[in-house]
Amino acid sequence: MDPASSSTVSNDFANTLISVLRLPTRERLSCMLNATKVIPSPEKLPRDWRGLCTLLNYIIPSGCDPTDPIGKIFKFCEAKTTIAHFKRCLERIDRYDVVEETEELFISDIIYFKEQCALAKYPTPEVPNDFDINNITIDDINSSKNGLPLTRYDAFLLYDTADTRSAAAVVDKLETDFKLKLCLRERDLRPGVMFEYQSIIKLISDRCNWLIIIVSNDFSNSPWNRFIVNYIQSSAIEKRKPKIIPCVFNDCVLPEELKCYVHLYFNKYNPFCDPWQKLMITVSPSTNLALTDSVKQNNSYQKLKIEKPVNINTTNVDKKKVIKFPSEENKPQPKRKSVFDRLVKNVGNISVKVVPKKWSEKKVKCTSL
């Protein structure tokens, strides 16, 4: 080092506080000075952090965690101790090895500090810090600028790129016809979001009511799609709240983890099921929309019956014209004879024929049995 550079460094050390030292430099000092040294310095000072405490007039309070005493010394002395004074203290406790090891780090930290000071004199225009970890979609940009809460969605539509046509049909039907708000990865995720799949999982878990899946063989072959499905499925089980709606548009093999769900089949005709209507009723947050045509017709029929009731009161009918039919309960039931009675009658008839004539004249009855 030439004399001019040496004098410049000395001036920098004398005019700069140790507060400018960055974390790598402080960690290096802690690693070298926190270890206890047995042999004292020529001035009879401990050759570790204890000697620095003596020279810097600092006493570590009792009860403090002594794992990093150098870090506590920096917190106490960084606002009033220059680098030059700190370097002289290291030399007095006979730690020239630390001085040689950290001198380049000191110089580098001072240069960095000067650069930051130069930038502070001519600051660059501030870019709004809207790249928050919670600002995941494009709608979140306007919400954060206007002080509004983050956007919530009725459902997140997850699909493979090979099923883009089916996804477009779902978006057109739910957003155009049913006025629902969907979130799509390609359309709504803002550029520059870090940890894309982690952000998608956070978005689905916290701000989407449902996860609509377009099931296909291409979807099942994607490990990332199956990872998202498995994570959301696990979260839904923990919260005991349904979250996933599988939709099938083409013939495919259903994954094992999705076979437990009720699927909506758009590739099969069923006269008793309208999959679009069922999808809308499930996803829609409004209960007023959850009415099928049959329910509406039934309600209208019930309303018609209430508005025009049929008068079945018989008070206005002429009593002379009222014909009363005996009910089934009031009809006299024929008396049923027991087997014994019929047997007695038959035997009695036979006995009468066998009775002698003189007995019949005397009106003597022959009792059978």
pLDDT in tens, 288-327: 444 444 444 444 434 444 444 444 444 444 444 444 545 4
Does the predicted TM-score (pTM) go above 0.75? no
| 216 closest CA partner among 204, 229, 205, 203 | 229
Q: Is the separation of the CB atoms in 258 and 246 below 8 Å? A: yes
What is each CA distance from 13 to 91, 201, 312, 352, in whole angstroms? 15, 51, 109, 152
Q: What's residue 4's pLDDT?
A: 58
Contacts of 94 (CB under 8 A, 6+ apart): 41, 42, 47
* Residue given tokens 């477009």 in the structure block: 168
Q: How far apart are CA 8 and CA 106, in angstroms?
A: 13
Q: What's residue 134's pLDDT?
A: 77
| 250 closest CA partner among 167, 314, 307, 179 | 167
What is each CA distance from 303 to 194, 290, 295, 299, in whole angstroms? 57, 19, 12, 6
Q: What's residue 302's pLDDT?
A: 43
Q: What's residue 162's pLDDT?
A: 93
Q: What's residue 320's pLDDT?
A: 45
Per-residue pLDDT of the chain in tens (369 residues, 90 and over written 9): 555 566 777 788 888 888 888 888 888 888 888 888 889 999 999 998 888 888 888 877 665 656 788 888 888 888 888 988 889 999 999 999 999 988 899 999 999 988 888 877 665 555 445 456 778 898 988 888 888 888 899 999 999 999 999 999 999 999 999 999 999 999 999 888 878 888 899 999 999 999 999 999 999 999 889 999 999 999 888 888 889 999 999 999 988 888 889 999 998 888 888 999 999 999 988 644 444 444 444 444 344 444 444 444 444 444 444 445 454 445 555 555 555 566 555 555 544 444 455 544 545 454 544
Q: What's residue 296's pLDDT?
A: 47
Q: How far apart are CA 101 and CA 169, in angstroms?
A: 67
Q: What's residue 152's pLDDT?
A: 92
Q: Is the separation of the CB atoms in 102 and 29 below 8 Å? A: yes
Q: What's residue 319's pLDDT?
A: 44
Q: What's residue 123's pLDDT?
A: 58
Q: What's residue 3's pLDDT?
A: 59
Q: What's residue 308's pLDDT?
A: 44
Q: What's residue 295's pLDDT?
A: 44
* Residue given tokens 């790598």 in the structure block: 24
| 243 closest CA partner among 229, 254, 255 | 229
